[in-house]
Amino acid sequence: MAVGSITKARRLGLGLAGAVSLAAVAYGAEPVTPFELRAEGEFPLQHVETTTSKGSQNVTSAAPYLGLTGTANLNSDLSMSVFANVGHPQLGSFRDNDNTFASAGGNLVKRWGAGFSTGVSIEHTHYYDDAFGRTANVANDINLFANYRWPTNKDLKVMAGVTVTARLDDTFAVERYSYGVRFNIEQRLFGSRWWVFATPRVRYSDYVGADSGRRDARFAIASGLRYEINEYVSAKILAGYENRQSNIASRNSDKFAAGASIDFDIDFVRPRWPGGR
């Protein structure tokens, strides 16, 4: 989950934030247990610079990210999860809002063999100004997603995912439809505890309702190094960039993010599988 991040679309559009992507792909690599309870977190120091036609905005944050996911494996290839996430967006995730948020939701995942999975997820999110100040926005995301994890060796991990998302506002009126493609690539360096990773992502959004006619295309990539301190805790540094092109010129933007963090990913039901993450 350490890479997890260009995710989450600042939204689930691409992403369900980390929890859905993990639930969708991890099971093909592990023995199935009836129930799993997993906690993940990130304690970062990160800086995000956003440039638009109106100027530049700089945000520096040390607010953590915390997530908890409970998964029931209904049978060997079908699972259902509920999850909650809170805090600041993870490093390199480029969510729609650079301040804090709190979300909760669930998903249903079907696995087709060792590497391929499909599913549906629903997430309800509150976005806040600054550190859990005034509620700036409320969003509801319905996602259809498919992920494929290539059968590689223990030193290389490659996963691709596609997501279709409908974003609804707090009155459940549709605001936009989004379509995304994303890759997660991790390579161990020389058999050590060091990993290099890259996460490119493309997302297209078609707005309806009040913003009907607006079209946005986003390209984002984050890359960096991760060090496995032990099977549950790791440290990483990364830099990321996102470009948004819109048919409404005032919505064009460029974002640059950089930071470092200490991350944890703990399965309370069973230990990590051999070979690390």
CATH number of the domain residue 160 falls in: 2.40.160.40
For residue 121, the enclosing domain spans 12-267
Does residue 2 form part of some domain? no
Does residue 6 form part of some domain? no
Find out whether 30 and 103 touch, Cβ atoms under 8 Å.
Answer: no
Q: How many domains does the chain have?
A: 1
Four-CA torsion 175, 164, 101, 108, nearest 10 degrees: 120
Average pLDDT over residues 31-56: 90
Average pLDDT over residues 64-80: 94
Does residue 5 form part of some domain? no
Q: What is the pLDDT of residue 98?
A: 73
User: Is 60 exceeded by the pLDDT of residue 242?
Assistant: yes
Does residue 191 form part of some domain? yes
Does residue 134 form part of some domain? yes
Q: What is the pLDDT of residue 271?
A: 54
**Per the structure block, which two tokens stand in for 33?**
């247990």
DSSP state of 144: E
The model's pTM:
0.79
Does residue 3 form part of some domain? no
Q: Quick one: 55 exposed, middle or buried, by C-beta within 10 A (0-12, 13-18, 19+)? A: exposed
Average pLDDT over residues 258-275: 78
Does residue 276 form part of some domain? no
User: Is 90 exceeded by the pLDDT of residue 109?
Assistant: yes
Torsions phi, psi for 179 (to 5 deg) = -135, 125
Does residue 222 form part of some domain? yes
The helix (H) or strand (E) run that includes residue 38 is strand 35-52
User: Is 70 exceeded by the pLDDT of residue 124?
Assistant: yes
The helix (H) or strand (E) run that includes residue 2 is none
Please tell me which residue, 121 or 57, carries the higher pLDDT value. 121
